[in-house]
């Protein structure tokens, strides 16, 4: 070992995101899955979404996962890498497939929305502390994890416990609860997610999500359940977001958004907040950047959207409260660099 660390040590990046990404098949038209004749291929994964958006904004990002030794695995690695994300720590599993899923075109909040997952026994579900490059995982200013990974298998859950445990090389650990009830087979989700959230430094959780999983209602009640994380981000849907940090409570209302598709907003919000955190911006600005990046995702059809330029987002985040309250964002707003208060939809 040299003074700079072990030979071939991975480069330290801004954010490392660890978790499963899948090939997503998006319908060519609205309707039931049984009636859709064809699908377009895309990628989907909470952690890789965060890495891709951060890389698109100019941050250095690494995605760590396992994929099958198959064409879908090739597609994931190549597509995520094309965003500028470091994928050198992604491992190939010759015995397990890459996960895929199909979804309908409708809003996920409606009863008509369908999702068909084919991820049981996937390569990513076999992630464990013994087959993941832990040095690469810890070689970031921030390590971003989600509760989705914990739901995939006992091995995955053990890996997250390893990464959230005290360690000399541990970075700031960001944890998005991201509760997916359909993935949890043993009913252990409340306890498991609580343990992981308590071990993190920064936690993202929806107010409704926290109530569903743990019972607390309201940001203060969630804080009592999670006293450990230095920063607790409680998302309140279209109302806004509250952050509890260092004894301070900061609330920022969400801007009005003309929604195209209600997918990917949570990951984009986390990426925007992390970007502003890496830049050491004030808490109010971190929340506004989260809102703006979420609005970029909400105003495009897919899960991933290029965030607004840094200058554009900084200018909007610096608006006074009155102008922020009048802000309205519609499709194409991220390209409307001259906008200051209202970006009308085409």
CB 327 within 8 A of CB 341: yes
Measure Cα distances from 205 to 196, 215, 345 in Å: 12, 13, 30
Other Cβ atoms less than 10 A from the Cβ of 169: the count is: 10
Other Cβ atoms less than 10 A from the Cβ of 270: the count is: 30
C-alpha–C-alpha distance, residues 332 and 91, integer Å: 37
CB 19 within 8 A of CB 148: yes
The one-character DSSP state at 254 is P
The one-character DSSP state at 206 is E
E strand segments, the chain: 13-18, 22-27, 39-44, 61-64, 66-68, 91-93, 100-103, 115-118, 140-146, 172-176, 202-206, 231-235, 240-245, 248-253, 256-257, 328-329
Angle, CA 264 vertex, CA 262 and CA 269 arms, to 5°: 110
Sign of CA dihedral 309, 315, 318, 320: negative
In sequence order, what DSSP letters do the residues of 154-190 get, joined into one string?
Answer: HHHHHHHHHHHS--TT--EEEEE----GGG-SSS-HH
Angle between helices 283-298 and 265-278 (to 10 degrees): 150
Angle between helices 283-298 and 310-317 (to 10 degrees): 120
Angle, CA 107 vertex, CA 104 and CA 111 arms, to 5°: 80
Point out the residues that are catalytic. Answer: 267
């Amino acid at each position: 070992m040299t003074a700079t660390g072990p030979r071939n040590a991975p480069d330290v990046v801004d954010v490392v995101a660890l978790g499963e990404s899948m090939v997503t098949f998006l319908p060519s038209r609205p309707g039931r899955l049984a009636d859709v004749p064809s699908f377009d291929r895309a990628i989907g994964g909470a952690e890789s979404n965060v890495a891709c958006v951060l890389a698109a904004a100019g941050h250095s990002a690494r995605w760590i996962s396992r994929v099958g030794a198959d064409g879908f695995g090739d597609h994931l690695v190549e597509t995520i890498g094309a965003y500028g994300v470091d994928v050198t720590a992604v491992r190939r599993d010759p015995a397990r497939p890459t996960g895929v899923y199909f979804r309908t075109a409708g809003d996920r909040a409606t009863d008509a929305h369908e999702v068909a997952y084919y991820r049981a026994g996937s390569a990513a579900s076999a992630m464990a502390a013994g087959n993941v490059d832990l040095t690469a995982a810890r070689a970031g200013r921030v390590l971003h994890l989600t509760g989705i990974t914990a739901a995939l298998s006992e091995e995955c859950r053990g890996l997250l416990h390893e990464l959230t445990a005290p360690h000399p090389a541990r970075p700031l650990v960001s944890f998005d609860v991201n509760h997916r009830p359909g993935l949890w087979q043993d009913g252990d989700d409340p306890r498991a997610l609580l343990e992981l959230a308590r071990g993190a430094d920064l936690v993202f959780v929806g107010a409704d999500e926290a109530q569903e999983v743990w019972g607390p209602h309201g940001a203060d009640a969630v804080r009592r359940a999670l006293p450990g994380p230095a920063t607790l981000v409680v998302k309140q849907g279209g109302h806004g977001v509250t952050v509890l940090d260092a004894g301070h409570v900061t609330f920022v209302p969400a801007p009005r958004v003309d929604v195209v598709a209600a997918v990917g907003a949570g990951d984009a919000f986390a990426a925007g907040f992390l970007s502003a955190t890496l830049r050491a911006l004030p808490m109010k600005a971190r929340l506004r950047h989260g809102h703006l990046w979420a609005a970029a995702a909400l105003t495009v059809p897919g899960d991933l959207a290029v965030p607004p330029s840094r200058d554009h987002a900084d200018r909007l985040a610096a608006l006074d409260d009155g102008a922020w309250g009048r802000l309205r964002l519609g499709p194409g707003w991220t390209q409307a660099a001259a906008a200051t208060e209202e970006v009308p939809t085409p």
